[in-house]
Amino acid sequence: MTRISMALGVAALGAVTIAVGCGGGSQQTASESAPPASTPAAPAQTGTEVVDITLKTDPDPVRTGENTFEVMVMQDGTPVTDAMVTTEFFMAAMPAMNMPEMRTKTELTHQGNGIYRGKGQVMMAGNWDVTVMVMRGGQEIGSEKLTLTAK
């Protein structure tokens, strides 16, 4: 599984951690580089509470076809258990190849202790812009954008 941690409110790039041998997919070594997370937006806060979002994928790396996405959401060190969490994969149109833009959104289900999980489709190999969105009471409490490369 690839574990990508995003601590919103951090001025630098989101941390990218590769967990080797965590089950089911292929494994990456430290010498293989994962795509970097993009620079986080302004801190996602409600009052003074910072939201931390951690994304894991299975298989690792993401593959075309069905994948499992797991997101852990913490707010000031406490698991968020009452949110709506989604992942959205987006690939821009490639007119030279006669390909339209592609977008797939997956709603994740709360599994307990701030962990949300769901299965979603990745339509083709290549670089995908991924947005993880966390909503509570109809309002965004956190989001993170990053790039993943599907094999």
Domain boundaries, the chain: 2-150
Please list the helix, strand and coil fractions of the chain in percent, rounded to the nearest 5, in that order: 0, 60, 40
Q: Degrees (nearest 5) of the Cα angle 37, 40, 45?
A: 140
pTM value?
A: 0.69
pLDDT in tens, 102-150: 999 999 999 999 999 999 999 999 999 999 999 999 999 999 999 999 9
Among 135, 84, 86, 82, smallest CA distance to 107 is for 86
pLDDT in tens, 38-83: 333 344 444 557 899 999 999 989 999 999 999 999 999 999 999 9
Among 68, 16, 57, 70, smallest CA distance to 38 is for 16
Q: Which CATH architecture has domain 2-150?
A: Sandwich (2.60)
CA 132, CA 9: separation in Å to the nearest integer? 15
Cα–Cα distances (Å) from 67 to 9, 118, 138, 148, in that order, read 29, 8, 27, 13
